[in-house]
Structure 1
Amino acid sequence: MIDPLLDQAIRHQVNMTQYGNFVLAKMIRILNLSDADLMAQLNEALADVDADSFKVQRLDKLLASVREVNTQAYAALYGGMTDELQAYVEYEGQFQYDLYRSVVPATFSIASVVPEQVYAAAMAQPMQGRLLKEWASNLGANRLQRIKDTIAVGYTQGKTTADIVREIRGTKALNYADGLLDTSRRQVDAVVRTALSHTAQITRTRFVKENEDILGDEMWVSTLDGKTSPECRARDHLLYTKVDHKPVGHSVPWRSGPGRLHWCCRSTSIALLKGQKSLYGSRAAAGGPVDANLSYADWLKQQSPEVQDQVLGKTRGDKYRAGGKDETMFTNDKGRMLTLKQMAEREGRALSQ
């Protein structure tokens, strides 16, 4: 049996990925709603332009209305993202409290975090070198610049306005996935997932600091599948001192920490109980130490069919249990989504077992 801290940490990361899918879908919906208006403004701006009359110097003036629509879209996206992060900070803080309440003797007191303080800290700390607000602003500026570049190059090459607009929007036959605007969606995907993991790790760090008297070293836990980065593989199950995160028994640096080490980092961390140096096989610590090389695949083997289906989906879950594994088995299924309410119900059941 897997140590409850490790078991719940992995379950939580699986659920968080599906919650990320839900948040991403909301953010993409915001962009989709703005696309029709943006394309209408673009068509109007370029209505009387052709390759012979086009001048790069006039482009900024021509695209003034397009710039306004684009700015409003990314402002709405940032607002929607911060709303989700505020709700998630509160959820993550409560999850950490409930998790350790379930494994720490009742005689010990556990402190919870103040969501408003953690959220402020998450917004004030750079995420991959910039604040979230700056990333949102830069995404909007980058999209506008790509539109301008496509127009300038298109007219220089003698393309028609219709050709240029189609290149920006994409074709209906391919659900517009072949258009320039789809690049923006992929970038939003990376920012959304990174913002969630960034916020989660800051919440965990604050929780550990609030409970320094009962918590000890922190263990790095990576999702070990085909998508895990070499940096996270190298750190899986390594120990670091709490709060200041100095390596314990090794020389691999913590750097920004799990969930913040790189874009879309899926690693997490577990704070061991004070004096504990390894994970054990039962809640009562009566079993032997869990193999330090326990992988995501090893964990999934020990889960119920219900949990396997939650992770993989029913079709792939059936295939997995039938022994039909392949290299894409553990990649993210973007079709599976969880709201915070659904995640709370699922994790509440798991903690009560």
Structure 2
Amino acid sequence: MPDLAAISHAVDLAAFANWLAARALAALAAHDKALHAALIEVAEALPAGAPNMAKLDALLKKVREINAEAYADMLRELEANLRAFISYEADYRRRLLAAIAKAEVMEASPERIKAALRDEPFQGRLLREWAQTLGQATAQRLRDTVAIGFAEGKTTAEIVRAVRGTRAGKYQDGILQIDRRHAEAVVRTSVQHFANYAAQETYRQNRGVVKALRWVSTLDSRTSEICMLRDGLKFSLAGKGIGHDVAFLGGPPAHWNCRSTLVPVTAFDDDRGQRAAAGGPVPKKTTYADWIKAQPASVQRSVLGATRARLMREGKLDLTRFYDNRGRWLTLDELRDSDEATFKRLGL
């Protein structure tokens, strides 16, 4: 049961990350009109030919300010939603553990959960540092695009087009999109990071119930070698391998866009190397395809879409690859409702 609940929750976390990524990108896009207008002012104020870089930097002051405010707004949007998410996730992990152990369990330290956004880095940096890094990278790209454009004799319209993208490319081919794609990766990875941070904090508070952690990876053709190697392996609460010497790496996320999670191993678990699934135990290497096929039609439609779900049931859809379905969004309230439905379905 823990593994099945973990996979279901991980799928919903991906949908929550989709929603949060859209909110973050919308915060950035809200400044696009002002940014484009400021760039036009810069372009029209520069003489033809290679620009004087000192003068260019002075003219770009307003552009830098608008760009910095855009990323500050993105950070505020992320912090507000992630703060609520971390609190919910810690409570979800507590309730899941209580359901598995059929016992009262302790909640994670409220102080540590509250401080997570401020103090816990992922992929080497804190959330606010990633926002700052992305903003600085965008500012540098804008400067380089204007400088190179004028050196090459491009018109103002051509320079602005290089920044915002083309209509034919659905405005996805401009330089602004480079760091926005990076921003999406930051959002998705941050959701996984804080989810697993909340999990580990909860499990550490319940050492009398949790005897180990098991790494559970989404098993499909997109699974990284890092996560394939660790899938199913057990680690102590301190991150030491149990029966192996594979590094814990601090737990998931082990890389950008990682989809792995941690499941508590309790005294109530069956250690015979199988994963629980609807209809009975199955071999430990249960895949995402196995999981989705075992779900009710309503869940299949929600994850795959109505057409794909029908084709899958008819045996006409290849599920050897994971359908991330980035068009599926879940707000935090919807994530909470979906988790409650999973608990009821599994009898937890």
Query: Aligning the two structures, in what range does the TM-score lie when normalised by the shorter sequence?
Result: over 0.9
Aligned counterpart for 2:120 among listed residues 121, 125, 128: 125
Question: 1:295 Cα deviation (Å)?
Answer: 1.6
Once residues 180 and 239 of structure 2 are traced to their aligned partners in structure 1, the CA distance between those partners, rounded to angstroms, is: 35
Once residues 53 and 9 of structure 1 are traced to their aligned partners in structure 2, the CA distance between those partners, rounded to angstroms, is: 57
Partner of 1:317: 309
Change (3 A) 1:116 1:341: farther
Q: Aligned letter for 1:70?
A: N
Once residues 174 and 243 of structure 2 are traced to their aligned partners in structure 1, the CA distance between those partners, rounded to angstroms, is: 50
Whether 2:345 is the aligned partner of 1:343: answer no
Change (3 A) 1:236 1:82: same
Partner deviation per Cα, 1:261-314 (whole Å, 9 max, x = no partner)? 11111100101113746278798xxx9864121222222222222222222121
The 5-angstrom pairing of residues 174-323 of structure 1 reads: 174-242=169-237, 244-258=238-252, 260-274=253-267, 276=269, 278=271, 290-323=282-315
SS in 1 for 2:262: strand
Once residues 247 and 227 of structure 1 are traced to their aligned partners in structure 2, the CA distance between those partners, rounded to angstroms, is: 25
Change (3 A) 1:90 1:137: same
- Alpha-carbon contact 2:289-2:320 (below 8 Å) kept: no
Once residues 36 and 75 of structure 1 are traced to their aligned partners in structure 2, the CA distance between those partners, rounded to angstroms, is: 17
Once residues 43 and 320 of structure 2 are traced to their aligned partners in structure 1, the CA distance between those partners, rounded to angstroms, is: 44
Aligned counterpart for 1:29 among listed residues 26, 29, 32: 26
Please list every run of 5 or more consecutive structure 1 residues that lacks an aligned counterpart in the other structure: none
Aligned counterpart for 2:51 among listed residues 49, 54, 65: 54
Change (3 A) 1:179 1:42: same
Count of aligned pairs between the two proteins: 344
Once residues 311 and 288 of structure 1 are traced to their aligned partners in structure 2, the CA distance between those partners, rounded to angstroms, is: 22
- Alpha-carbon contact 1:221-1:237 (below 8 Å) kept: yes
Q: Aligned letter for 2:260?
A: S
Return 292-301 or 227-236, whichever deviates more: 292-301
Question: 1:52 Cα deviation (Å)?
Answer: 2.6
Partner deviation per Cα, 1:83-134 (whole Å, 9 max, x = no partner)? 11111011101111221222222xx321112444214134312211111111
Once residues 189 and 258 of structure 2 are traced to their aligned partners in structure 1, the CA distance between those partners, rounded to angstroms, is: 7
Once residues 310 and 78 of structure 1 are traced to their aligned partners in structure 2, the CA distance between those partners, rounded to angstroms, is: 29
Partner deviation per Cα, 1:173-224 (whole Å, 9 max, x = no partner)? 3321111111122011000011111111110110001111111111000011
- Alpha-carbon contact 1:24-1:189 (below 8 Å) kept: yes
Question: 1:56 Cα deviation (Å)?
Answer: 2.2
Q: Aligned letter for 2:16?
A: Y
- Alpha-carbon contact 1:219-1:269 (below 8 Å) kept: yes
Question: 1:330 Cα deviation (Å)?
Answer: 1.8
Return 78-87 or 171-180, whichever deviates more: 171-180
Please list every run of 5 or more consecutive structure 2 residues that lacks an aligned counterpart in the other structure: none
Partner of 1:157: 152
SS in 2 for 1:270: strand
Change (3 A) 1:291 1:18: same
Q: Aligned letter for 1:262?
A: H
Change (3 A) 1:248 1:189: same
Partner of 2:6: 9
Change (3 A) 1:314 1:53: same
CA RMSD of aligned residues (A): 2.1
Question: 1:172 Cα deviation (Å)?
Answer: 2.6
Once residues 288 and 163 of structure 1 are traced to their aligned partners in structure 2, the CA distance between those partners, rounded to angstroms, is: 62
Partner of 1:104: 101
- Alpha-carbon contact 2:214-2:235 (below 8 Å) kept: yes
